[in-house]
């Protein structure tokens, strides 16, 4: 779909549809729509008429937001001021934010308006005495954006609070640790140059005073988790952190009393660096899920109810989908999604059910046919009676399947956790061994214990806390820049280890909309002039097959298309017109037979052959004689072959699954050289197929875009959704391709493998540096400077190594 | 010794002040929208609006 103002190509689901001067227009964003209105309003609309455009979209009738829904959100903000948070739908870019802020802050009575760039939340403060809430809402609507009550999901609120809490703890630890470093440096200097005991005592007390809050306040999350882990007999990362920093603290206090060296800086540094790692991880994960949630929010949740109004006449009202009951009548206009399951009562149309069932060809609908919620109405309005709502709909059934698959999905343990699982007991054994060895050699108990604790201190690598989050942060940042949203570090890890890729056909390997495949001349017209003639007629058609033919002719050089008059469309059959002085008919066999056109020998067989391959055949007749066959089919994406080749080069086994019939699926698989094809797969069938592969020890990556793919995406080790997918699909996926480019799939796999390799290197070296210092600790020779140096060296290494992910990445693929 | 003590107290006081400033900035939402400022910097019509506001009528 193309924006009527700026001609930008954009996914249809994002369209902003408006009626300007009585004509329906579609825009990529409300900013463009507003500019269009201004230009048209100034009487300069001729500018647009001078341009050629393709698909003016139908308008969604304007329905103002109901201020009652917002009333509960109003907050008192001091004398003569109220504040409200609005979620503004339709914001796509910085200009949209600017436009909304300006239009609101220029409204008399509005004190301030601020729109958050990341979340699209507008915080509006206004004087209720001078301007009403309704006026504020209408103001936003006047420029084409849709204000909604700002409701944060419980999950989102918890995450935001957690992030803030962690930031305060991290900042506190950072400040205290840097202060602590000053006194520690003084103590180091004292060790080499001599220091008088009272000064040293003072420094040590201050260091203790600074380290304690770091351990008790900033380290509280670790202490809590470690305590919980201890009671359940699980030793994880948190136990290691609590153990390491706690041991350093205890050791230092003991040393203070004995007059030995102190390790307060080590205790504080462990907590600080691991908190930093936690924070980075939370941020990286939060940002990706936010972006995905925003993509998903674009889906309409309203239905147009047809019901008798107060005066007894039929009336159309926009209501929330949840408010529609079975037995009520709902209208669907072209381009809209069918909101619920039901049976058509009036009107006829064709519906794209590919997202729900995987069937790529449009399904004709007339009175009596069943429609499925979630499918897209292509052309023609219809009214249907709702038969199923809520949990009974086909869509809800698929959502249930997704939830089941997600509940069953085993949570993979991150590499770091796996290592820590055996590392902690090993350290404890080593510490106990150290104590025993010292006692055996005749050392005093306190001396032996001190050395044992020193082993625990040095073994705790604080670079461990940074090893994974840093690599994940760099890798997800890079992935986002390329157009892949990854919902967490564990996804990268799973993606790096997949062995199989299952690709959905419709909308993933193919474009999901028909394109002209070939023209077979039957008479004396050449293929090129036949196409030109067909395109001239079809240009007036609204049918998607007609559009595919018209689109194909655009690439032809030279000669102008013949003039067309007397265009008529025969629903379900084809079109006819007079073009170039001849009667032209375009359509199926029935239309040709009706028009009295005989097919030449062999033409019918050729058409059947094409149809067996899953293509739709359109017959062209001119002047009463058959002139050509035009084959139209859902075309394989241009980049699919390259993407498939790269995936194979990465060592993955490939398979195609589809809800389509055997012939169509096999044709696509053969074209791409994939030998495993599973046709006629139901959503649960796809899921079970993947589950079987997993039972056989394979780790599966699934790529899809439809609602019907959602169960398989959640079942697979990694589910990847195309950005044009529906909200159900986006939510069930682990990663989302923002750009509609299949080559991002192998690129994401490659990136994740590099990140995984770097994570393992990081972990190895994080342990290695500390392992080198271990013998010193066991021998009782551990000096604070050695402990600090080992920590700094391993942390620096981890930071530098993680940045290598960026430099190792090739140039971004551009599509 | 007195000067060392003085400097220690000074640095702790400065650290405390910086920490309070930091906690305030987190609580007041300074870190909620890290994207915005880079775009807001480019909006050059603030000055014009200011002028209009100062000259009523």
Mutation target for A interface from B15, B50, B56: give the one with most A CBs within 10 A: B15
pLDDT of res. A306 = 84
Q: What element of type H or E holds A170? A: helix A154-193
Cα-only R_g, chain A: 33
Asked if A185 reaches chain B (Cβ–Cβ under 8 Å), the answer is no
pLDDT of res. A48 = 67
Nearest to A118 among B4, B23, B35 (CB): B35
Say how many C-beta atoms besides its own lie within 10 A of residue A575's C-beta.
23
How many Å apart are CA A284 and CA A473, to the nearest integer?
6
Percent of chain A with pLDDT over 90: 10
Within 8 A of B47 by CB-CB distance, chain A residues are none
pLDDT of res. A169 = 93
Residue identified by tokens 């954006």 is A145
pLDDT at residue A669 above 80?
yes
- Report the sign of the C-alpha dihedral through residues A132, A134, A140, A144, in that order: negative
Average pLDDT value for chain A: 81
Cα-based distances in Å from A289 to A91, A484, A485, A715: 18, 12, 8, 19
Chain B segment 3-42 residues within 8 A of A by beta carbon are 4, 8, 11-12, 15, 18-19, 22-23, 26-27, 31-36, 39, 42
Q: Which ipTM did the prediction report?
A: 0.77
How many Å apart are CA A748 and CA A473, to the nearest integer?
14
Asked if A761 reaches chain B (Cβ–Cβ under 8 Å), the answer is no
**Residue A47: which pLDDT band, with cuts at 50, 70 and 90?**
low
Q: What's the average model confidence in pLDDT over A633-655?
A: 88
Mutation target for A interface from B6, B30, B38, B40: give the one with most A CBs within 10 A: B40
Closest Cα in chain A to B23 = A168
pLDDT at residue A350 above 90?
no
Which of the pair, A624 or A754, is modelled with greater confidence? A754
Q: What's the average model confidence in pLDDT over A544-548?
A: 79
pLDDT at residue A656 above 80?
yes
Say how many C-beta atoms besides its own lie within 10 A of residue A601's C-beta.
7
HSE at residue A40, side-chain half, CA atoms within 13 A, is 18
How many Å apart are CA A24 and CA A31, to the nearest integer?
16
Q: What element of type H or E holds A631? A: strand A625-636
**Residue A491: which pLDDT band, with cuts at 50, 70 and 90?**
confident
pLDDT at residue A40 above 80?
no
pLDDT of res. B57 = 44
Using a cut of 0.80, tell me whether the model's pTM lies above it. no
How big is the CA angle at B42 (ends B37 and B47), to the nearest 5 degrees?
105
């Amino acid at each position: 779909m193309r924006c009527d103002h700026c001609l930008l190509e954009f996914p249809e689901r994002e369209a902003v549809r408006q009626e300007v001067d009585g004509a329906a227009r579609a825009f990529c964003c409300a900013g463009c729509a507003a500019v269009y209105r201004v230009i048209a309003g100034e009487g300069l609309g001729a500018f647009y008429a001078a341009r050629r455009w393709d698909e003016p979209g139908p308008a969604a009738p304007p329905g103002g937001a109901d201020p009652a829904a917002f009333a509960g959100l109003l907050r008192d903000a001091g004398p003569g001021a109220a504040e409200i948070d609005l979620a503004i739908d339709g914001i796509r870019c910085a200009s949209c934010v600017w436009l909304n802020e300006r239009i609101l802050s220029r409204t008399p009575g509005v004190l301030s308006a601020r729109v958050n760039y990341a979340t699209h939340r507008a915080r509006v403060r206004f004087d209720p005495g001078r301007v009403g809430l309704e006026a504020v809402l209408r103001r936003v609507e006047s420029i084409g954006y849709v204000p909604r009550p700002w409701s944060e999901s419980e999950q989102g609120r918890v995450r935001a609070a957690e992030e803030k809490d962690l930031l305060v703890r991290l900042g506190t630890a950072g400040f205290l640790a840097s202060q602590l470093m000053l006194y520690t440096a003084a103590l180091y200097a004292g060790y080499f140059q001599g220091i008088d005991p009272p000064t040293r005592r003072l420094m040590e007390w201050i260091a203790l005073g600074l380290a304690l809050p770091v351990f008790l306040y900033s380290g509280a999350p670790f202490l809590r988790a470690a305590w919980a882990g201890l009671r359940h007999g699980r030793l994880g990362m948190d136990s290691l952190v609590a153990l390491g920093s706690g041991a350093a603290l205890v050791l230092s206090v003991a040393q203070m009393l004995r007059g030995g060296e102190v390790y307060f800086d080590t205790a504080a540094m462990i907590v600080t660096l691991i908190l930093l790692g936690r924070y980075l991880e939370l941020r990286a994960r939060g940002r990706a899920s936010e972006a995905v949630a925003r993509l998903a929010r674009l889906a309409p949740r309203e239905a147009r109810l047809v019901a008798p109004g107060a005066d007894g006449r039929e009336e159309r009202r926009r209501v929330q989908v949840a408010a529609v009951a079975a037995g009520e009548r709902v209208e669907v206009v072209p381009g809209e999604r069918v909101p619920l399951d039901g049976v058509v009562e009036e009107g006829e149309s064709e519906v794209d059910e590919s997202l729900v069932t995987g069937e790529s060809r449009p399904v004709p609908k007339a009175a009596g046919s069943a429609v499925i919620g979630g499918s897209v109405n292509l052309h023609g309005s219809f009214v249907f009676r709702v038969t199923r709502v809520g949990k009974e709909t086909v869509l809800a059934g698929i959502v249930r399947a997704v939830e089941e698959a997600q509940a069953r999905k085993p949570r993979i343990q991150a590499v770091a956790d796996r290592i820590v699982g055996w590392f902690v007991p090993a350290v404890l054994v080593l510490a106990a061994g150290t104590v025993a060895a010292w006692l055996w050699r005749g050392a005093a108990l306190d001396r032996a214990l001190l050395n044992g604790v020193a082993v625990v201190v040095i073994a705790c690598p604080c670079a461990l806390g940074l090893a994974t989050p840093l690599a994940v942060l760099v890798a997800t940042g890079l992935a986002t820049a390329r157009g892949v949203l990854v919902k967490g570090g564990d996804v990268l890890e799973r993606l790096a280890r997949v062995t199989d890729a299952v690709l959905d056909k419709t909308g993933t390997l193919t474009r999901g909309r028909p394109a002209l495949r070939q023209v077979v001349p039957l008479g004396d017209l050449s293929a090129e002039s036949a196409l030109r003639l067909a395109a001239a007629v079809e240009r007036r058609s609204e049918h998607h097959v007609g559009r595919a033919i018209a689109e194909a002719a655009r690439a032809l050089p030279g000669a102008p298309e013949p003039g067309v008059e007397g265009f008529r469309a025969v629903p379900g059959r084809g079109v006819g017109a007079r073009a170039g002085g001849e009667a032209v008919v375009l359509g199926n066999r029935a239309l040709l037979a009706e028009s009295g056109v005989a097919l030449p020998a062999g033409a019918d067989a050729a058409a059947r052959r094409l149809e067996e391959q899953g293509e739709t055949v359109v017959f062209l007749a001119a002047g009463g004689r058959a002139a050509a066959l035009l084959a139209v089919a859902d075309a394989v994406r241009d980049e699919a072959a390259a993407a498939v080749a790269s995936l194979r080069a990465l060592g993955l086994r490939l398979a195609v699954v589809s809800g389509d019939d055997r012939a169509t699926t096999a044709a696509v698989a053969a074209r791409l050289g994939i030998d495993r094809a599973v046709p006629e797969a139901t959503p649960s069938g796809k899921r079970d197929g993947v589950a079987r592969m997993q039972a056989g020890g394979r780790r599966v990556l699934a790529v899809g875009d439809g609602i019907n793919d959602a169960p398989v995406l959640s079942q697979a080790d990694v589910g990847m959704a195309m950005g044009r997918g529906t909200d159900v699909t986006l939510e069930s996926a682990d990663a989302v391709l923002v750009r509609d480019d299949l080559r991002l799939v192998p690129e994401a796999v490659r990136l994740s493998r590099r990140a995984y390799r770097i994570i393992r290197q990081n972990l190895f070296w994080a342990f290695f540096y500390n392992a080198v210092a271990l013998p010193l600790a066991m021998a009782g020779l551990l000096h604070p400077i050695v402990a600090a140096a080992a920590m700094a060296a391993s942390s620096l290494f981890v930071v530098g190594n993680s940045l290598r992910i960026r430099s190792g990445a090739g140039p971004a693929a551009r599509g | 010794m007195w000067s060392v003590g003085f400097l220690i107290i000074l640095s702790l006081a400065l650290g405390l002040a910086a920490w309070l400033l930091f906690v305030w900035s987190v609580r007041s939402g300074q870190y909620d929208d890290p994207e915005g400022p880079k775009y807001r910097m480019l909006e050059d019509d603030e000055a014009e609006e200011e002028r209009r506001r100062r000259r009523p009528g």
